[in-house]
Structure 1
């Protein structure tokens, strides 16, 4: 994280916890406009004359559909079609920005570097030059912005604003540090946004069904198991890319054995860890039928994204495979 941006947040009463979360003092329970500093996502810039062609051969979404006014979710797969990372792809004038989990940035950059060969492509970790801010608001436009209402629609003014969830009224802001500080001051001062803890932004990502991966879940699932097809993150009419054969075969067979679901549990022990096994107790055999993708607590209840074997009977008796076998309830995404 950029040093001046971090110092600015500290001056705004932010506390940086050891695990990387950013915590602010308690806010008014009546507040419905929140602003978040996001520390667990990073930005990888892909630039050069061959950047678009290079990415087209590596990612699941169609680079030709990405414009300065339309971003997209996507995935980077290994040759077996397993997703190494999910990302949000944003186009700038002369480059592409991949917003992805910070814990995976190094391995993703190294993986992509192997495929560049003689192409005119530069990969840059821009996490120190660009700041990520989240906004959530009740309705209308945030802070006087004119933001299109479609999913992943993008407005680029002094910063890039990406609509993450029309239903939730959320947007992600990508900005240089000086501009980020100016915007933060304006939103908290003039527009009534109150700073909120970064872990609550992850909670909103979960209930919106955004499937961010971790080192534990990287290369475990094909894109359809993460609902990337339903989120517009897979193109089935573009050219070949790494892992494309497996992804296309699954699509044209018409059925995925596993899908992503929203779920909750009241864990009596520790937080459900990424890739923790999920068991089905309905048969009395405690069969492993899925795994946790990500989890975040609010008021002692964990909301989770889980990848689960699809049941034709749609009957489950799900529990975490932990010491207490905490019961899992499926929710509608």
Structure 2
């Protein structure tokens, strides 16, 4: 995290916990919120061959990414399993990849192998760019992942229910944005873990190291988010991803669920079917527990009759209740 940005947040009474969590003791639940985001980082890909490199590695069509339109997507291994998911935006001639900090270095190293003699520069910009989330009553673009360029930053629309945006900003712009929202627009500071929960509830499948290289993109609903192009041509893992698409629906998909549980299960925790002899039906992708309720995203076998009676293997007392996911 940018040191100047961190110092500013500390002066705003932020508390840093466990390295990547930022907590504010005085936050009002009845107000819109602005969130510092500390678990994601930014990898810049620049140079005249940047788009060509990304097009040969990403599941999305990189040539559709402009200064007014971002895309989500994934980088896959040769077996079509997603190594990391990302948001890809463009700022002038640079491509900005937003992805989990714990996977940024592995992704950078993997992309570096394909640079060879190309005009490409890969730069971890997590220490000089800031990430802010805004959730509240501000209008957002109707088109998901629509972007607008501001002085000192790029803002990406994440949807309108609730209206949310993600801003990639230099330090000065981030501080200005934060101060304006708190002093002029009636916003309150929000905890970083609450932003992670909003992403989870929206079905955005951020991967951890434990969940990396476990699922093909369709199992993460990236196709429903517009993060998989089936017409762009070859990229690493494309053959498996395309075969899954053209031979019929994937047998597994991403589901949103909740259960009565204080502690969140770890990624890849097994999920069983009570009515099927406790056979495995899938695993947890990511989970967040708060106030006795745990929300989670899970990759599950799709039921032919649409009926599910699921439980966590390590917590059989906790029945999972599936919730609707709206990607409209």
Instruction: State how far apart, in whole Å, the 2-side matches of 1:89 and 1:279 are.
Output: 35
CA contact (8 A) 2:273 2:311 kept: yes
Instruction: Give the count of matched residue pairs.
Output: 324
Deviations 1:276-320 (A, max 9, x none): 11111112x211111111111243211111000111022221111
Partner of 1:55: 54
Shift of 1:185: 0.7
Deviations 1:42-92 (A, max 9, x none): 000001110001110000000111100000101100000000000000011
CA contact (8 A) 1:203 1:297 kept: no
Q: Does the alignment pair 1:326 with 2:325?
A: no
Q: Does the alignment pair 1:155 with 2:154?
A: no
More strand by share: 2
* Unaligned residue ranges in structure 2 (runs of 5+): none
Shift of 1:29: 3.2
CA contact (8 A) 1:155 1:162 kept: yes
Which one of the candidate residues 271, 275, 279 is aligned to 1:282? 275
CA contact (8 A) 2:285 2:297 kept: yes
Local SS of the residue matching 1:275: coil
Instruction: State how far apart, in whole Å, the 2-side matches of 1:128 and 1:60 are.
Output: 27
Instruction: State how far apart, in whole Å, the 2-side matches of 1:36 and 1:233 are.
Output: 25
Local SS of the residue matching 1:327: strand
Shift of 1:182: 1.2
Local SS of the residue matching 1:155: strand
CA contact (8 A) 2:270 2:284 kept: yes
In the superposition, relative to structure 1, how do residues 26 and 299 fare at CA in structure 2: closer, same or farther (>3 Å)? Answer: farther
CA contact (8 A) 1:89 1:96 kept: yes
TM-score (norm 2): 0.96
Which one of the candidate residues 225, 235, 241 is aligned to 2:235? 241
Instruction: State how far apart, in whole Å, the 1-side matches of 2:28 and 2:109 are.
Output: 44
Which one of the candidate residues 164, 188, 194 is aligned to 2:188? 194
Instruction: State how far apart, in whole Å, the 1-side matches of 2:301 and 2:201 are.
Output: 20
Shift of 1:323: 4.5
Which one of the candidate residues 168, 177, 180 is aligned to 1:174? 168
After TM superposition, the structure 1 stretch with the greater mean CA deviation from structure 2, 274-283 or 291-300, is 291-300
Shift of 1:325: 4.5
CA contact (8 A) 1:263 1:305 kept: yes
Instruction: State how far apart, in whole Å, the 1-side matches of 2:173 and 2:154 are.
Output: 11
Deviations 1:162-181 (A, max 9, x none): 00112210000100011111
Partner of 2:201: 207
Shift of 1:7: 0.2
Q: CA RMSD in A?
A: 1.1
Instruction: State how far apart, in whole Å, the 2-side matches of 1:168 and 1:155 are.
Output: 19
CA contact (8 A) 2:261 2:289 kept: no
Q: Does the alignment pair 1:88 with 2:84?
A: no
Partner of 2:253: 259
TM-score (norm 1): 0.95
Instruction: State how far apart, in whole Å, the 2-side matches of 1:29 and 1:96 are.
Output: 35
